[in-house]
Amino acid sequence: MSQKPASSTVPITVTEIEEIAKTRLPKNVYDYYSCGADEQKALARNLYMFDRLLIRPRVMIDVRNIDTSTTVFGKRYPFPVAFAPSAMQQLCHPRGELETAEAAAAHGLSMTLSSQSTTSLEDVAKACDISKLDGPDFWFQLYLTQDPEYSLKLIKRAETAGYTALVLTVDTPVLGNRINERKTPLVLPEGMHLGNYDIPKGPKKPVAERIFLNAHTVEEANEIVKQSGPTMHSSSLTWQYTLPWLRKATSMKIILKGVMTEEDAKLAVEYGADAIVVSNHGGRQLDLVPATIEVLPAIADAVAGRIPVIFDGGVRRGSDIFKALALGADLVLIGRPVLWGLSYDGKKGVEAVVNILEREFSRTMTLAGVRSIKEITKDSLGIAKKDGFGIAKL
């Protein structure tokens, strides 16, 4: 659990904060958050592809005044970052999601609360009085279940509590093959529970998705699905049914998280999504998919400005934020860095992550000769040639 940081060592990068978090968290908790699926190639690729992109700095430009702010859904962000949904944050700090939410509100950033949070959505909303925030709104993430009516209650609770957007995760019809979780299952400690669900009393049992993950045969997997009941993730989402059903269910904006192709981006616009999140689930679902940053340009071109394109995956530096914006993102989500900050020093640790990234981003803009978000374009980047010397313009 979180401890006070040593005064003699103040981390100045997100990587340094992660290293501290790694020493504070139990190994199975750190592995749960840090690892990806199968051989973790998608996880590594998310990071690697950022490094292939190089910034083409322009000079002799008056950069005394840098404006890092942006606007999404009519709300002003001091810089183009928001908090991605991350489950069970009390594993990182005793107050978990409350500390994260307070940090987001303090910095005028949006937070997406995971439906699998260890604090109820009502308690998070109350802690920050989210219906009265001057800055960006809070959003609520959801996995639709096999019985949509089971999810409907949660949707209504979120809307009543003041969340303004529903972030529907669409890349998880089943859990990816997370080998570390199969070998060392993560069970919430005594006294900790998922805050948004009615959990039966008695010994804690793995949820249906975790049981399904451990199936050794197709027959065993099919039997688990039959016996799982209404709470297992739905594997039958469709464009024709799901979005119209959600439109009838809620007045919240609908954001689809997990879009990785331009074909699906076009369908999201066609069927009325309010925004999409370009995401491969932090490399935790299908391994050997592209990095999110390398599919972003084609997706942004397909959307053509009709709805916001939100991005996540592998962001660890302010320059990563710059690169994502240059390739078409309107807003960038950070997930694991928030958890490392939370583990490091609760709200103050999350704020440290925000401050580091904001300062790095502003410095990157200054040194690149860019004065505002709208000036960050593909022309700001080149890509390192895979075989040979030099870079190629995008």
Structure confidence by residue, pLDDT tens digits, 327-352: 999 999 999 999 999 999 999 999 99
42 neighbors 283 (Cβ within 8 angstroms): yes
Q: Which pLDDT score is estimated for 161? A: 97
Instruction: Look up the pTM and report it.
Output: 0.93
Residue 259 bridge partners (DSSP): 278
Task: Answer yes or no: is 86 a known binding residue.
Answer: yes
Task: Answer yes or no: is 328 a known binding residue.
Answer: no
Q: Which pLDDT score is estimated for 179? A: 87
3 state SS for 231-259: CCECCCCCCCCHHHHHHHHCCCEEEEEEE
Structure confidence by residue, pLDDT tens digits, 118-139: 999 999 999 999 989 988 999 9
Q: Average model confidence (pLDDT) for the chain?
A: 92
Q: Which residues contact 344 (CB under 8 A, 6 or more apart)?
A: 2, 5, 11, 17, 20, 21, 24, 352
Structure confidence by residue, pLDDT tens digits, 39-96: 999 999 999 999 999 999 999 999 999 999 999 999 999 999 999 999 999 999 999 9
Q: Which pLDDT score is estimated for 229? A: 65
139 neighbors 167 (Cβ within 8 angstroms): yes
Query: How many Å apart are CA 131 and CA 87, to the nearest integer?
Result: 23
Q: Residues 141-162: what's their mean pLDDT?
A: 93
Nearest to 82 by CA among 113, 109, 106: 109
Structure confidence by residue, pLDDT tens digits, 247-294: 999 999 999 999 999 999 999 999 999 999 999 999 999 999 999 999
Q: What's at 233, amino acid-wise?
A: H
Indicate whether 5 pLDDT > 60. Answer: no
Q: Which pLDDT score is estimated for 9? A: 79
| Domains along the sequence of the chain with CATH | 14-393 (3.20.20.70)
Query: How many Å apart are CA 393 and CA 379, to the nearest integer?
Result: 7
The edge-to-edge listing of strands for the beta sheet with 139-142 is: 81-83, 331-334, 309-311, 275-278, 253-259, 165-169, 139-142, 112-113
Query: How many Å apart are CA 182 and CA 212, to the nearest integer?
Result: 10
Q: What's at 163, amino acid-wise?
A: Y
Query: Whose structure tokens read 């998608």?
Result: 42
235 neighbors 174 (Cβ within 8 angstroms): yes
Q: Which pLDDT score is estimated for 8? A: 55
Structure confidence by residue, pLDDT tens digits, 217-227: 878 777 777 66
The edge-to-edge listing of strands for the beta sheet with 53-55 is: 53-55, 381-384, 391-393
Q: Residues 185-210: what's their mean pLDDT?
A: 76
Query: How many Å apart are CA 387 and CA 378, to the nearest integer?
Result: 22
Q: Which residues contact 268 (CB under 8 A, 6 or more apart)?
A: 256, 259, 276, 303, 307
| 142 — pLDDT class (breaks 50, 70, 90) | very high
Task: Answer yes or no: is 169 a known binding residue.
Answer: yes
How much of the chain, in percent, has pLDDT values that exceed 90?
Answer: 76
Looking at per-residue pLDDT, the higher value among 148 and 22 belongs to 22
Q: Which pLDDT score is estimated for 202? A: 56
Active site residue 216: no
Indicate whether 172 pLDDT > 70. Answer: yes
Strands 253-259 and 275-278, sheet pairing: parallel
Task: Answer yes or no: is 283 a known binding residue.
Answer: no
Task: Answer yes or no: is 279 a known binding residue.
Answer: yes
